[in-house]
Amino acid sequence: MDKRYQVFVSSTFEDLQEERKEVMQALLELDCIPAGMELFPASNEDQLSLIKRVIDDCDYYILIIGGRYGSCNDEGISYTEQEFRYALETQKPIISFLHRSPGDIISSKSEQNPENKSKLEQFRKLAQTKMIKYWTSPEDLGSVVSRSMIKLIKNFPAVGWIKADNLTSAESTKEILDLKKQIEHLELQLRQQSITPPPGTEHLSQGEDSIEVTLCFSAYKKDDYYTSHSCEQNCMVTWNELFQCISPYLIIEGSETMMIKAIVGYLKNKLENDINNFLVSQDLHRPRDFKLIASQYRIDPLILDKNSRILSFS
């Protein structure tokens, strides 16, 4: 989006009129909005308060120092220095342009008062605590300002000004921000749910917790093929083992019968040494504890419908 940056130009006025014109022209060519004392309207507001408000509205601050210290307030501090100190206080991006050879400036544009000369020298030292560039003529100053502002804008991006017709309405902006906050809140909830148990399931066993499952089956003894026996055998398994048995059937929404066979087959292999005296028939019964297993997975982490089919993950 196209932006224009407002730049406050601070300097003494009478001795730097040509220099200020060159700076203003350079800023306008960069599509910046210059602001300075010569552009201020007549106002009943005291001068410093007005200057501070304008600086607050600006994105960047430029200081030009020539051969004069400038008009001072009752405390003996020039208005130009007050502007600079306020820009420092408000942490505006600042760049100062100091005359390279103050001694070469003609006397009519140089400070004659010894006290102000000393203050000007101290002011130059203060300006050198921030980014500075040097100039020797009005034309040179305009060129230096143009190059320096391009770099300043790149290194210190500011808010800038945008044409009103490029902006959405205030209501739309507020709605977008509210929706963005809501999305961020829901995304946070989703991340938390992915790593925490569902509410109300904290008391349930899971993972490597063990459960004793009783396998019920009909079998014949190896030495008695004519007598069927109803047998039971207990087996300790973990919930992870049970889930591993039935997980292949979740994708195809396996039925209860398919899950029972998977669990029974796993338990049979696990108990192979304990039931080696029997020939287990093909008609295997469900484990006595299957209802407990189904109840566990019905709410954590699986849901079964009335036909005992897997519907979805919780």
Q: What's the CA angle centered on 285, arms 281 and 289, to 5 degrees? A: 145
Q: Which residue has the higher pLDDT, 267 or 20?
A: 20
Query: Is 153 in the same domain as 222?
Result: no
**Assigned domain for 178 exists:** no
- Distant-in-sequence, close-in-space partners of 76: CB < 8 Å, separation ≥ 6: 119
105-130 pLDDT, tens digit each: 998 899 889 999 999 999 999 999 99
Sign of CA dihedral 303, 305, 307, 312: negative
**24 by DSSP, 3-state: which?**
helix
Q: Kindly report the average pLDDT of the chain as a whole number.
A: 78
- Distant-in-sequence, close-in-space partners of 32: CB < 8 Å, separation ≥ 6: 4, 5, 6, 7, 60, 149
Q: What is the pLDDT at residue 289?
A: 59
Instruction: Count up the domains in the chain and report the number.
Output: 2
Q: Which of 164, 198, 222 is the last residue of a domain?
A: 164
Query: Is 22 in the same domain as 151?
Result: yes
What CATH number has the domain bearing residue 28? 3.40.50.10140
Contact 161, 4 (CB under 8 A): yes
Q: Give the mean model confidence (pLDDT) for residues 275-298.
A: 55
Q: What is the pLDDT at residue 166?
A: 65
Q: What is the pLDDT at residue 255?
A: 73
Query: Is 113 in the same domain as 227?
Result: no
Query: Is 45 in the same domain as 155?
Result: yes
Please tell me the total number of residues recorded for the chain in this structure: 314
**Percent of the chain clearing pLDDT 90 (strictly above):** 38
Q: What's the CA angle centered on 228, arms 226 and 233, to 5 degrees? A: 140
Query: Is 219 in the same domain as 278?
Result: yes
Q: Which residue has the tokens 């001795």?
A: 15
- Distant-in-sequence, close-in-space partners of 293: CB < 8 Å, separation ≥ 6: 211, 213, 242, 263, 287
Which of 36, 45, 31 has its CA nearest to residue 17?
Answer: 36
Q: Which of 96, 129, 164 is the last residue of a domain?
A: 164
**173 by DSSP, 3-state: which?**
helix
Q: Which of 102, 134, 164 is the last residue of a domain?
A: 164
**Assigned domain for 183 exists:** no
Query: Is 214 in the same domain as 116?
Result: no
Structural domain boundaries, residue 95: 6-164
Q: What is the pLDDT at residue 124?
A: 95
Where does 109-224 have alpha helices with state H? 114-127, 138-155, 170-195
Query: Is 98 in the same domain as 231?
Result: no
**Assigned domain for 133 exists:** yes
- Distant-in-sequence, close-in-space partners of 305: CB < 8 Å, separation ≥ 6: 311
Q: Give the mean model confidence (pLDDT) for residues 200-218.
A: 69
Q: Which residue has the tokens 């602001």?
A: 35
Query: Is 127 in the same domain as 274?
Result: no
Query: Is 12 in the same domain as 145?
Result: yes
Contact 309, 253 (CB under 8 A): yes
Q: Give the mean model confidence (pLDDT) for residues 44-52.
A: 75
**Assigned domain for 294 exists:** yes
**Assigned domain for 188 exists:** no
Query: Is 160 in the same domain as 228?
Result: no
**230 by DSSP, 3-state: which?**
strand
**8 by DSSP, 3-state: which?**
strand
**Assigned domain for 107 exists:** yes
Contact 235, 271 (CB under 8 A): yes
**Assigned domain for 189 exists:** no
Torsion of CA 156, 59, 53, 78, to 10 degrees: 70
Query: Is 30 in the same domain as 157?
Result: yes
Other Cβ atoms closer than 10 A to 221: 14
Give the bridge partners for 4, in sequence order: 161
Q: What is the pLDDT at residue 288?
A: 56
Is the predicted pLDDT of residue 313 greater than 60, yes or no? no
Which of 36, 34, 105 has its CA nearest to residue 66?
Answer: 105
| Angstrom distance (rounded) from CA 236 to CA 26 | 85
| Angstrom distance (rounded) from CA 86 to CA 48 | 10
Give the bridge partners for 95, in sequence order: 62, 131
- Distant-in-sequence, close-in-space partners of 275: CB < 8 Å, separation ≥ 6: 219, 231, 233, 268
- Choose the most confident range, by mean pLDDT, from 94-103, 286-295, 298-307: 94-103
Query: Is 159 in the same domain as 39?
Result: yes
Is the predicted pLDDT of residue 180 greater than 60, yes or no? yes
**Assigned domain for 187 exists:** no
